[in-house]
Every structure is written in structure tokens, then in C-alpha cells.
Structure 1
Amino acid sequence: MHPSSDILTRNNVTITGTGEQVLLLAHGFGCNQQMWRFLLPLLSPNFRIVLFDYVGSGASDMQAYNKQRYASLDGYALDIIEICEALELENVILCGHSVSSIIGLLATQKIPQRIRAQIMICPSPCFLNLPPDYLGGFAKADLQELMDLMDKNYIGWAQYLAPLVIGDPDAGQYSAELSDSFCSTNPVTAKNFAKATFFSDYRALLPLNQHPVLLLQSERDALASLFIGEYMQAHMPQSELQVIEAKGHCLHMTHPQPVADQIHAFLQRLTQTME
């Protein structure tokens, strides 16, 4: 068992904001807590915000990285669980971007008493096409090609993937930032996280959900289409889907205001339901 201070250092945990309600923000693959900075001014007055980097990402302690633990999304979920326990958090709104929506769902099902609700930004339970019933966006062979490119030309891989993720030619500055973030991540930890992200299928988790969930999707997203948002909403109890008029997979970066508006409105509905 790690002492609490070790976990907070390991995951580079930072806390900001002045509200009573705790909002835990979990970054996506190839990213770090800096990606939330566009949302922070819009949320800080209303929330106590907990930010962190998964081990292997950002400014986390690389000495704590264990390839076996982080070979599946359960290892990343354990980071969230240990942070919640170290800070003795209760009544948490857990907000995850992309794969962290599913990592958050895994964590929530292990510590349901600590979580109040989840917000999922551009989520996907499975990035694979599994016809005829499910189209996650990618053929397995295409994803394998992407993995091979990581080995052969890591910078080329980052420069290819970043614009695809941002999804908006007018948002070049975000593509450049995301590419830099990919490049600054250790290739070994990045490939392990990529495999856990892109080759997994967590659709069976959805019907087990027991918490209110807000799904936020873009109108056009190359990584998580509207079909996926609708699929998740149909298969996950207590979930609602809100579509934001936008392009791309990083709404919290490219469209922070509508995301913040949806988060505030969701919390208001939650509070009214409890009264």
C-alpha cells in the first residue's frame, strides 16, 4: 500500500478551484492534465478540481511505471481509484476524455460509493469495427498499421494522428500541441497505452452502469462518431447524450465554453433530482 503522499507525487496531482463539488478530470491517451487548461477558468469558480497525469504520461513519476499493470485499462483505472482514496474523495463528478471515459467507468464500478456521476467527453467503449452491429471507426488491420508506424517513425506517427484527432483544419494550433504531447510521451509507455486503448472492447461494461452519465459528442469526430454516442446512450442506464456543434475529438480544448455550459447544466439537473 502506497502512502498517500507517494500517490499524489506519482500521478503529479494538482488541486485548484473554489467550489465545494469535487470534479476529477482524467486526460486521454497521449495527453496530460495541461489539456484541461482551457476549461479551468470556466469551471474553477464552481468546482474543486483535481487534475493528474496517469503514470507514464505528463509529469508523472516514470520510476513507478509497470508495463504489466498498464497493459490494460484496469491499470489506469487503479490510478484513479488510488488518487480518490489518497485524497479521501467522496461525491466525485468524474470527467474523462476519450478512453478515460471507459477508464472512469472501470474505476466507478470498483468504488461506486465515492463517485456521484460521470461526464464522458468524446467517449468510445471500442474503437474497432465489429460488423454487423458495431462500427467503432477502425478496421483491426488499420490500427495494427498505426502501431507499426509508432515503431518505425514515432514522430511521423504523432504528426499523422494529431490532426486526425483534432479533426478541424482551422484548429492547427491544437494539432501542433497534441503532436508535441504525443512526441514528449515515452514511446514505450505510449505504445502500451495505445494497445490498451485501441484494441480493447468494453461494451459489456455499459449495461452495468449505476451512476448518472453525461455523454458529450461532436457532430463530426473521426475517432468517435455519433453512432458511438447513440450506441452508448442506448446501452447504458442513466445516461444522456448531448451533441455539440463541432468537429473533432478534443471538445474540451477546441470548444471549452459549450462543454462547460453542458457540465453546469448537468450538475444543476443532478441537484434538482436529489432535492
Structure 2
Amino acid sequence: MADRLAYTKGHGTENDFVLVPDLDGALGLSAARAARLADRRAGIGGDGVIRVVPTELADEPAVREQAGAARWFMDYRNADGSAAEMCGNGTRVFAEYLRREGLEDADAFTIATRAGAKAVRRDGDHWSVELGPWRLADAPTAERDGFDALVHVGGGDPFSALSVDLGNPHTVVALPEEVELADLDLLEAPSVRPEPPHGTNVELVRPVGPGHVVMRVHERGVGETRSCGTGACAAAIATSFWAGSLDTGSTWLVDVPGGRLTVRLLPDHGVELAGPAVLVADGSVPTALLPD
């Protein structure tokens, strides 16, 4: 193994990632090594780690099956080292890296994720990615008025929420008018009932105008982040559902602490996410400092 591990640091609306090239598939990426790279004090620091590996060399058979459609696999890990299905902001940063490195030279191509192949498209200095199909994890009943979960954020009464699956799990909280986003303490993970079997990202959402919401997010395995791409899509879908209109072609602006994302609803429960992707630094770290 090489004495040093190369990396690139990037972010999408300040949701930041450590990208590690593994172009021959020989590196691998253990949970402990990913967690150290993501550590903001003992490592490089990031909300997640992305290994760049040819799809045909992926560890999981279900991912290798995507090799005919996608040359490169986005092997995404949360900050705690746990493997995740995919990441909306991460897909755009991954696409920007592939294009900068000459691994893809087109303005539109497909990448492989654990949640299936995702089509990405460059549009100026932004990238768009088709993330659908989505589904409501548990169809709400009339008696529940469009909600299927309860979320505790610190003390006080729980908030009503809706579960949305975008290949990874989300629980979107509809904040009542008297509760301000800035007043909520997200240092501890929100408690969700019923408890999702594989955890969930929790989005706290407040409409601010037609087709426009503001959001904070607590990501599973990470904590509060400055942005979450799939979470922005879940927020737009849930708000559209509560408004009684999941119109194909409708566009939502989603403001997060790290910037602004655009979400567009597509036919057949599809959804498209658009926003910036920035590569900010390249470097290397001694492999002796990393766990096996």
C-alpha cells in the first residue's frame, strides 16, 4: 500500500465531503478509515467520505450490475463510517470531480450508487441529478391527516412528520407557526416514532412562500449538516403532498444554512435536484495515521 493516501475536499451548499480515488479498486475503504478521514479534528473533516471506484470493481454485486450504465461508483460513507445508499449533494460533487479529472468528459452521464444508477447533467456552474423514484415510506391515513410519524426534538411536545424514501430514508417535520427553526437544538439526534429500522435523516421545514421552503437537517450517522440534497427533495415532496398538489414539473426553492437548492418534480414519482458543486482542496495524508 502507498505511504500516502490522496484526497480531494469538496462541498455542495457546504455539505462537505472527502473524495478518495481508488481507480484500480485495490484500496477499499473500511468504516474505521472513513470515519478517521471525516473526523474534523483527527482527520481531514467532512460530512461524508466518497470512494471513487470503477463500477465493475465495486464490492456489492447489486452495484456491479450497474456497470453497463455507469462507469463510476460513488461509494458513499457517512461521517461515522457507515455505508449509505447515496447522497444528493455528494452526487454533484462526485460528478464535478469525475469531470475535472477527465474520468468523464461529457456534460451528462450516469453514476452508480447503492440506490441505483443516477443521471447527472452539467448546467453552467451547477449540476442537476435525477434522484427518483421516490415513495412515501408508509402511506398516511386520513385519520393522521397526512402524517405517519412523530419526532421529538429536545424537550417539549413531538412534531408531526411524514416519511419519504428517496433510496435513503427521510422524516420531514411540519413545523407549527409558533416554532422558529433557529430556536431548535439539533445537537442530539431527534427521536422518531415509530423508530425506522435503519435510522433516518430528519428535515425540519417551514414554508416561506409559494414553491419556497427553508430547512434544517439532522443526518443519520453525521448530526446536523449545512445541507442535504435528498433531504431538500424530501422537504419539497412532503410540502407538496401536504398542499394537495404533487404536480409534475413544479419547481421548489429550498434554502438551507449552506445555500439554496432547486428541486423539480418529474413524472412517475421522479425528482431532480440542482445546485452548485465546488472542489476546494487537494492533498494527501500518511496512511500510517489511518486505521486499517
The structure where helix makes up a greater share of residues is 1
Looking at CA atoms only, which structure, 1 or 2, has the larger radius of gyration?
2
The structure where strand makes up a greater share of residues is 2
**TM-score, normalization: structure 1?**
0.35
